[in-house]
Amino acid sequence: MSNTPVLGYVLKGYPRLSETFISNEILLLEEMGTKMHLFSMRHPREKICHPSVQQIVAGVTYLPTELLDDFPRLLAANMSLAGREPARYRKALLYAAGLFKEKGKVATIKHFLQAGFLVNTMEEKGLNVQQLHGHFAHSPTSVTLFASMLADIPFSFTAHAKDIYTSSVATLREKMERASFVATCTKYNDVYLADLRREIDCPIHTIYHGINISLFHNDNSGHPPQPPYRILTVARLTEKKGLPTLFQALKILKERGIEFQHQLIGDGDDRQTVLAYIKELGLEEQCHWLGACTHTEVLEEFSRSHLFALSCKIAENGDRDGVPNVLVESLAMGVPAISTTVSAIPELLHHEETGYLVEPDQPEELADGIERMLTDLPLRKNIIEQGRLFVEQYFDNRVQTKKLQEVFLQDNPALQRG
């Protein structure tokens, strides 16, 4: 076994284009001296990835994904681990069995077997993993918790958005009770989790994702916009992004005689519904879907845009955004942003100071805000200037990742280099 202490990250999938902030975090932790190993619950499903992924040194172990198809591999690894550590394995197995009896979810069995595969691989490779950290509070942290018990090492996790608000209170409390700490990406989440925690002695740390400020430059940001105005949206095509409200607002602008071109970047389960709605509203000439794009392509679209619009809402299942990174990138690029008051978005967009806010599901209000942001030049100038300064001060990913590294080291001194 190597003597170098290792931090193990457990991820839902790796790499994922929509989770570039995680690959950036991993790269920065490595640059700051943290040795890491990644455990991914599934292989990548996208053909493109962010350039930062190519710079990451950490090895990656892909856990078997399908309970039935991969059962022989899962069983063999768990039997090997149980043979080496029978007492520890039995204790963790009894805990998992109790959860399965209580909740009746097959996923509990799968996550336990994946955790056994993870720990067996970790030991067979001689990885000196001193702490496991799950990214997202749902399934990755379930695997992380079981693996922590099987390996007898501490674990922590980062809670984001959907994973918090679509998880049961009891499940979140159970994970917080066993974790050494929880990191989360907004103050809004921090308040919610702190209320759930109550008497549980588990520190919660608010650490924004942030961006690499040096990558964002836009020589055109100070130029007054002229029609046809260029409006940009970058979003996964899912319910919580509130895209129907945005297209209703754009329909209103068209009826007012305002000339514009709207570019939509992203993909998702609601693709066909979204594209059909654009056609239904008669916006085919104004609205263009570009699909999933590389980060370089996204930056090019930012540099051509006059406004960034994102009409977030709370989905029926409780899913919602935190602070979408694309809003941070928009401000860094000098492209003023309009969005909604949902969740933690007001932590970034201060109304008429660093951005423009409207209530969710209000197309008329959104249309008014878009029109004002395109035509009120003094307001635009102030928002562009204040937005960039605010991002530089609070959303520099080097500063935020350094805070995270310090939390790891304070929580677990065994992660110290040398």
Domain count, the chain: 2
Residue 286 has pLDDT above 70, yes or no: yes
Number of residues that this document lists for the chain: 418
Q: Is the pLDDT of residue 418 over 50?
A: no
Say if CB 285 and CB 254 are below 8 A apart: no
Q: What is the dihedral of CA 138, 143, 149, 151, to 10 degrees?
A: -140
175 and 222 share a domain? no
* 151-165, 289-303, 340-354, 404-418: least confidently modelled range: 404-418
10 Å CB burial of residue 62 (0-12, 13-18, 19+) is: middle
Distance between CA 406 and CA 122 in Å, rounded? 25
Q: What pLDDT, on a 0 to 100 scale, did the predictor assign at position 218?
A: 80
Asked if residue 103 and residue 233 are part of one domain, the reply reads no
- Tell me which residue range forms the domain holding 256: 214-394
**Which pLDDT belongs to residue 48?**
67
Q: For 12-34, what is each residue's pLDDT tens digit?
A: 999 887 788 899 999 999 999 99
Query: What are the pLDDT digits (tens) for 234-284?
Result: 999 999 999 999 999 999 999 999 999 999 999 999 999 999 999 999 999
| 197 in Cβ contact with 204 (< 8 Å) | yes
Residues 376 and 390 both lie in one domain: yes
The pLDDT of residue 2 is 66
Same domain, 204 and 289: no
Does some domain include residue 159?
A: yes
Asked if the structure places residue 360 within a domain, the reply is yes
Q: In terms of domains, do 201 and 232 share one?
A: no
Query: Is 346 a residue whose pLDDT tops 60?
Result: yes
HEC string of the chain? CCCCCEEEEEECCCCCHHHHHHHHHHHHHHHCCCCEEEEECCCCCCCCCCCHHHHCCCEEEECCCCCCCCHHHHHHHHHHHHHHCHHHHHHHHHHHHHHHHHHCCHHHHHHHHHHHHHHHHHHHCCCCEEEEEEECCCHHHHHHHHHHHHHCCCEEEEECCHHHHCCCHHHHHHHHHHCCCEEECCHHHHHHHHHHHCCCCCCEEECCCCECHHHCCCCCCCCCCCCCEEEEEECCCCHHHCHHHHHHHHHHHHHCCCCEEEEEECCCCCHHHHHHHHHHCCCCCCEEEEECCCHHHHHHHHHHCCEEECCCCCCCCCCCCCCCHHHHHHHHCCCCEEEECCCCHHHCCCECCCEEEECCCCHHHHHHHHHHHHHCHHHHHHHHHHHHHHHHHHCEHHHHHHHHHHHHHHHCHHHCCC
Instruction: Indicate whether 310 and 343 sit together in one domain.
Output: yes
pLDDT of amino acid 417: 58
pLDDT for the residue numbered 186: 96
- Domain co-membership, 198 together with 254: no
Q: What pLDDT score was predicted for residue 45? A: 78
Examine residue 122 and state whether it is found in any structural domain, yes or no: yes
Q: Decide: pTM greater than 0.95.
A: no
For residues 219 and 321, the model is more confident at: 321
What mean pLDDT, rounded, does the chain reach?
Answer: 94
Does 330 map to a domain? yes
Whether 1 is in a domain gets the answer no
Please, how many CA atoms are within 13 Å of residue 215, restricted to the half-sphere of its CB?
A: 20
- Kindly report the CATH number assigned to the domain that includes residue 91: 3.40.50.2000
Residues 6+ apart with CB under 8 A from 199: none
For 173-214, how does the pLDDT look when each residue is reduced to its tens digit (9 = 90+)?
A: 999 999 999 999 999 999 999 999 888 999 999 999 899 998
Q: Does the structure show a pLDDT above 90 at 53?
A: no
Sign (positive or negative) of CA dihedral 334, 340, 341, 344? negative
**Domain contains 361:** yes
In the predicted model, what is the mean pLDDT of residues 402-407?
97
**Does residue 221 sit in the same domain as residue 138?**
no
206 lies in the same domain as 265: no
pLDDT at 215 (0 to 100): 87
Q: Do 240 and 160 reside in the same domain of the chain?
A: no
Co-location of 288 and 326 in the same domain: yes
Same domain, 264 and 349: yes
